[in-house]
Structure 1
């Protein structure tokens, strides 16, 4: 995260006067990648140093006094508590900080911004006592690395892009400072070193020397907004960015703000990804339902043929005859029709089976004609939300899209206060149907969740889900189409779901009595009956 060594050197210059000679009051960690150090001295207020050791976010800074105390932390390395810090130093070439205590014990911070970031607690005799971040074996190999000789940018192979050579030069500019230097020199960043003229090389040498001097003499820290991702900390104004979003006199404060915004951005990115996955899931579901509806519309000729076959079979003698696997009969125009038969059924039973299939196809086609335009409209709307999501930059915009999605697809499940799971189906005119999922949730739904003027529904004569139908106004009996719609869903979630017609009882919840001894068993008063065909929610609801 700290892209340039001078930034880390400046940060060390701010930290040292505040923590050296102070007592390390406490060390606490949050997870495996965050560490907090409390320093106290008689002449200064307590200082809290915060460190991060994960890929993409490895840094250290003093927490601003306006921030509240770190939460959800646990003690770490308690043997160091109360010890005085005597020295803080930066490795000559590596991004390593060494914190030396009066006992000779050391904390080694590895701030590479990669998976090799972490911290080691090392005893005076060199033994490693504890670690955070990267695996201990990885960090031990990095500890006490000898200073490296870093090549100058002109020493790299001729095919090396200029920006890469500058970023890895002995000045350790890093990527964004290297791009800034290329822009100041008017040279394309991806220009191979071998294609640079001597004039361009001389200009780069002069500009690099001046650039490093500016970095050393800078007394401010700038925060720049990037097109994607958290902001950028720089010791200099950058030509490749718009005006800075903030300017700090303290590099530690700039890093602290950058960390704060990084964590917010990561949370935003997680929420955006979750919302994107929800939208894509709904888009796939709507596409599947639309394709099924389109297939149902193509089945109209099939239902006509099945109805024809049923009529032809009923016109034959020997309607109780069984054992035939097919029969060839002329239709109304004299064309032969080869009709498959179930040998276990009579001709009459085969005809009734064909009539039933035709009725089912007709009903599916009717629903498809009703649902298809709505499904197409919803699918288009979801794809519009996905396109809008790609342009979202704030959590407020995320919440607006999530709210629009919630209105289109209300939640299908909820949990009661006592932990029972309920199914939820939003019907027309503001009515909501709640269903239990087992005997325990049935009882919780009926006797703890439901209100006296809710409508209770249950299949007569068999076990199944309790249904509670709640309207927008107290005591309002739902219109018969909505009541039948709710009853069809209740019948579907019962043992009678395979029947062609199912009797469903309904009454006000206040007329439902609990039976002792059996969980979920009830007795109804003033009940009424409606006959419905069991339908799953996707078929009984209007999309």
Structure 2
């Protein structure tokens, strides 16, 4: 969200307030793909605006002071030095911020995800460019076509349900294509709107959620936080981030986010290869899980089936519009009339068959999606457990470990784990040892001090470790105890006593073989053994 049009729109306004009537004192680069613009504001205070080129993690930030290195720093664009800043403004139709100077020169910052650049311009002619300078020098940037700005277009859609329904009709009622056509909405904002919509597909619901999201974008709550992997996040939406920290303005938030990102990236680059690979795989799984929504597929299939039946029931009606037909919903008479998009080249019966085919195809996907989701959830739980067993390291420790492991770090990540992983809830996972040696490894290498440790009392069985739960999670502990009872030699008994305690109260005993432990401060539950779902 740090690079979308709305963040940059607000940032440009704050830059204008900060830099207008100030002085551009110089331009330089001291790191690869970083351009630094040095300013004195109108009060004479030094400021630096740093632009990151071709960096998917951050775009720009401003900080107080001048921080130029004495060595390995290249001065650029001398012609612009000591020029007065007249204005800072963003393009009404794109992610381009232009700093206009009193001399007639200007600096344009193109803040695209994979093709960012900065230009020194005279009118629209490129005098110099930060990247691809040789090719771009002397070229003329196309004049911007006169059209409504992104903000004006969105305001118009927000103010008029009819205009919004017309946009929906232009995309044959396809929700995703309609959302993708919203000006200024990048993929993250598109996903945000679709997530808020859930299974509510009427145009009125989509329009209502769009209006709410647009209001948040135009009245930002600036915050930084951390995602599930601990990586920094930036948002201007009203829903709080994990570990959310509020900021007074966009520039302050971008600075905090950028600095945190640079630190995180620097540490991540030095992580042990195995841990880094596991985290990357977990990130991909979570991303795929977000896209798997069998309920939405089922709802869409049902909607298509109803559309087919309504068309069959209306074959006698005259078709007045080639692209759609509005019918009374005989399955839900209290609902407003339903407008069904049509394919021009097909008659009503053929359109009905087309909707039945779409419905059948959607229903056929559901079982596969459920299986895929279950498989990914199990794999994610195993990866989370494996990562939880790895201690966080400082960069120096990571370098030392990388040296000591050598080629061993290149082993496949699908190494055998000493436990089975069961998802109890979205945040709670149960780990189950597979044999005596694995029990020992699970308890003393993978379990953390405040994890819940469980074992069937008075009989041999698996060590079980409940991660993500506290002693207050009685339902999760009860369920885990039932599974622990199943993974013991008492699995066929009617009721089995299962002890549980915090792992920090479990210790190795003298001269005890692997898998046998001394347990203190335990509590006992009487449970019926329960086999976990496959």
Which range, TM-score by smaller chain? 0.3 to 0.5
Give the structure with higher Rg (CA).
1
